[in-house]
């Protein structure tokens, strides 16, 4: 399943990489666009201010650690279905963004949502998989405590 999430992210970025920077396609007016953003930071451009090599090493290391930890817990005994799916989404998303960082030096973000003056930072499928994966992991842990 991890490879499925990675593949969805990779294929979407492959097709959207044909855009140019600042290219916008309006999907739903005043709400949703497809854009081309080269994100050199983590989520929402966080850490983009660090100098090149330090940012690159840090982001590669963090992504690799996340993937290793996810795979470790994925194959432990007694892993629930919810936890397994959450971990596979987390690992697939992390691998998708890790691939981009290694190959391109940045992550391609393209989903662009906004309402009036509020503009949510651009993101991609990998970011969505990571977020949903973390929510599923938290749900699994909280539901086991109750």
Choice among 9, 100, 112, 127 that is catalytic? 127
Q: CB of 41 within 8 A of CB of 55?
A: yes
Is residue 112 among the annotated active site residues? no
Is residue 127 among the annotated active site residues? yes
- On the 0-12 / 13-18 / 19+ scale of CB atoms within 10 A, 52 is exposed
In angstroms, rounded to a whole number, what is the distance separating the alpha carbons of residues 65 and 70? 8
In angstroms, rounded to a whole number, what is the distance separating the alpha carbons of residues 65 and 73? 12
Choice among 9, 109, 112, 140 that is catalytic? 109
The residues assigned a catalytic role are 109, 127
């Amino acid at each position: 399943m991890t490879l499925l999430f990675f593949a969805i992210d990779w294929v979407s970025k492959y097709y959207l990489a044909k855009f140019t920077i600042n290219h916008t396609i309006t999907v739903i007016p005043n709400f949703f666009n497809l854009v081309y953003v080269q994100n050199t930071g983590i989520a929402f451009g966080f850490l983009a201010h660090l100098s090149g090599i330090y940012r690159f090493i840090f982001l590669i290391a963090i992504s690799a650690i996340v993937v290793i930890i996810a795979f470790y817990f994925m194959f432990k005994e007694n892993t629930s279905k919810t936890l397994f799916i959450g971990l596979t989404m987390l690992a697939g998303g992390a691998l998708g963004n890790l691939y981009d960082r290694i190959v391109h030096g940045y992550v391609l973000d393209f989903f662009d949502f906004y309402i009036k003056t509020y503009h949510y930072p651009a993101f991609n499928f990998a970011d969505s998989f990571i977020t949903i994966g973390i929510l599923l992991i938290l749900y699994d842990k909280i539901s086991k405590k109750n």
